[in-house]
Amino acid sequence: MRPSGKRQKKYGSFLKGFIAYNINKAYLSINPDHEQDLLEEIELGDKTLLLVDGFDEVKHLDEKGIYGSIKKQILEQPCMIMTSRPNAIDTVLKSKFGTVIENSGLDDKGLDDYISKRFVDNRKIQEDIRKYLESNTQVNEICKVPINIAMLCDIWAEDGSVKIEGLVDLYGQIVQTLSKRFFSKADKYAKGKSDKELEEKLSSGKFELSELKALAYVAWNTFTQEKTLIFGNKDLQRAIDAQGNTAELQPTIQDLRDYGLLKVELATKGAELYSFVHLTFQEYFTAHHMQEMMPQQMRQVCSLMGESRITPKYLMVLKFIAGLVSKHENPTLRTAFWESMTCNVDGVIDVGMKPKLELWMHLLGQVPSSKRQDIPNFKQLEDLIDERVCPELSSWAQTCFKSGYLSPKMQRRVFEMYQEQKTKAESVALWGKLYKVMDSSMLVEGQQPKDYIRREIMSILVGTEQEPEQEPEQEPEQEPETLGIHRSVYKKKA
């Protein structure tokens, strides 16, 4: 993004001080003299390009405090590139930039190309994965994010198949895959035990290994308490000590590093700084830790979830929790979570109905349709969403698509609107997206809406009632670099 319009020539000291402090802290030492020298050398002018990564991680911070002043001065910069997840960007912020580029991930061809190159010498696995994605549309959409298709292929390469209904299952299975690798080189787990015995420690969605519990603790502590995504050896040791393990089962810092989920951000004078290989892994582990805390600290956890439900930073964490509690054997956790998502919270300003509806749709999209009836007051929640969304379904299409949620009434409305449309060519992109999140088993007037819309889309695209012939597959030119998480190649947020 590049801000448009004229900007002030005078730049505030808060931003310069913030830059100097972080350079000093990360690359030199906590030395006031160094910081003052840096402050005098930093010049923020018309020819300065400011790179701001991860705006969604700080949007929730107090606009009236020092963070608000820094953010304001950042937006006054004449030359800037900012990255953010889309849920943190509103119309007002967009208007401050002359160019906005949205990374929408891989399209169908991109997915196909990746699978071909990942398994260049195994045509059978290529076809098995393609058939699996074709029959599991929600997983197909999840895999449009590059890290997710890379993980699915890693799991498939190791296990020969996958069993995934949504995002929680995908991350759960990749953690199991990494655990198997860790088992093979950890004598305290592998010695004298079968693979089945080891895998049972990861069953039922629970983290039974000391290393995983420690990783979940440090993820939660830095994400919710320290408000930073970077942590050091002291943070890892604190997470290890918090588990209260016996000496025999006590992990080491090296064990946590060997698990394959951390990467070194900075190593100077023996003082390493780490982060998770991808922010989504930290969010997944944070969600796991919060779910494990709920039975003993229900009030505190629910209070945090309720206060954070409209905070962009927490959207992925809440989506993971929605999926986790839907599979948990304790219904109390499910009830507490959904009450914290739907009830008014003391001290939290009501932001209006639209943000709430968007949140609920994202959360419901993580719950398998067969388990949605277990959600407290689900029928009332579904009716409320339908009442607001169905009359304006076209304007809500993007939210439906990104959340993966379409109620039966919405699906019937899609079917009706498709039959009522006047200009098919203008509607094909919208319907093409919505049909992917429809339930293949639902019938309307004796037909499956999903199959009906698919046939209609194809007829619009090719101008005939027959589907186009598929072009013969071409052999990929080269195999890509192996995408094993243990090699820390998954970079940044999607």
Per residue in 318-377, pLDDT tens? 999 999 999 888 999 999 999 999 887 554 445 578 889 999 999 999 998 889 999 999
In a domain, 437, yes or no: yes
Whether 130 shows a pLDDT value over 60: the answer reads yes
Q: Which of 64, 100, 62 is nearest to 80 (CA)?
A: 100
Considering 27-41, 54-68, 217-231, 357-371, the range whose residues carry the highest mean pLDDT is 357-371
Final residue before a domain boundary, out of 50, 79, 99: 99
- Length of the chain in terms of residues written: 494
Whether 488 shows a pLDDT value over 50: the answer reads no
The residue written with tokens 């849920």 in the block is 87
Label residue 168 exposed, middle or buried (CB < 10 Å: 0-12, 13-18, 19+). buried
In a domain, 391, yes or no: no
The SS3 call for residue 350 is coil
User: What was the pLDDT predicted at 428?
Assistant: 54
Question: Tokens in use for 227?
Answer: 């408000």
Final residue before a domain boundary, out of 36, 66, 99: 99
User: What was the pLDDT predicted at 468?
Assistant: 41
Confirm whether pTM is higher than 0.85. Answer: no
What's the mean pLDDT when you consider all of the chain?
A: 77
In a domain, 314, yes or no: no
Q: What is the pLDDT averaged over residues 15-40?
A: 67
**Cα–Cα distance measured from residue 418 to residue 12, given in angstroms and rounded to the nearest whole number:** 54
In a domain, 414, yes or no: yes
pLDDT band at 448 (very low <50, low <70, confident <90, very high): low
Domain that includes residue 447, residue range: 406-468
Q: What is the pLDDT averaged over residues 458-481?
A: 43
Q: What is the pLDDT averaged over residues 167-173?
A: 89
In a domain, 449, yes or no: yes
Final residue before a domain boundary, out of 66, 83, 99: 99
In a domain, 134, yes or no: no
Residue type, position 416, single letter: E
User: What was the pLDDT predicted at 60?
Assistant: 66
User: What was the pLDDT predicted at 40?
Assistant: 73
Q: How many domains does the chain have?
A: 2
User: What was the pLDDT predicted at 31?
Assistant: 54
CB 341 within 8 A of CB 363: yes
In a domain, 142, yes or no: no
Cα dihedral: 172, 176, 182, 188 (round 10): 110
Residue of 37 and 277 predicted with greater confidence: 277
Pairing outcome for strands 50-52 and 80-82: parallel
Whether 167 shows a pLDDT value over 70: the answer reads yes
Q: What is the pLDDT averaged over residues 102-109?
A: 84
Whether 7 shows a pLDDT value over 50: the answer reads no
In a domain, 457, yes or no: yes
